Amino acid sequence: MTPPDLVSAAEDDRALKDLNNWLETQSAGDRIAWAVATLPDQHALSSSFGAQSAAALHLVTRSQRDIPVILIDTGYLFPETYRFADDLTERLGLNLKVYRPTIGVAWMEARLGRLWEQGLDGLERYNRLRKVEPMQRALTEIGARTWIAGLRRTQTAARGSIDFLELRDGRWKFHPIADWTDRDVWTYLQDSRLPNPPSWEPGMREEDTRFFGLKRECGLHF
């Protein structure tokens, strides 16, 4: 089956739905090969270097070795996350691009206090300052026309219906492993001899560990 035309998908919701239906029939590797060949360059891959990130990083960089990999360093990442990022960058030869908020941790806390302790409004402000703004700046400075991310439908309730491909603010957003389960990720990590994520505990629901249960998403993707 020939995939629907990308130009039509950009102009017509029905054609985009048909394209997502076609992507559903493809393997993750085939989806990525199609995306690298078809979706407009510059491509960029974002990663939190958290639980299960190694699978998406390995899959995508096998098809496009030099793709910019964006890590947003909020200043509050776990020490294990920084070490995991170093390990994977060396192991996979990543073209890592680290972006940080324009205001440092100490200065932000001096001005605004510990925002994550200030309820939902505080969390939203924290996310805008330390995650959303640097990510948007990264995509703009890199010139990304296609943003690839390792979101999966089983991660949180908000991600339960994500498509493989969407068009947002004039930029393609691509989720090649949207249909993967935790078991799929675990199997891929083992088969590819990739390191186990430092913070992944079997049976852990990712959404239950986020923001004290007050907020499920940080705003980067939704």
Q: Which residues are catalytic?
A: 218
**DSSP code at position 26:** S
| 170 φ, ψ (degrees, to nearest 5) | 80, 5
> Which DSSP string do the residues of 89-151 spell out, in sequence order?
HHHHT-EEEEE--SS-HHHHHHHH--GGGSHHHHHHHHHIIIIIHHHHHHHHHHT-SEEEE--
Residues 171, 196: contact at Cβ < 8 Å?
Answer: no
d(CA 186, CA 55): 9
Residues 116, 211: contact at Cβ < 8 Å?
Answer: yes
Amino acid at 129: L
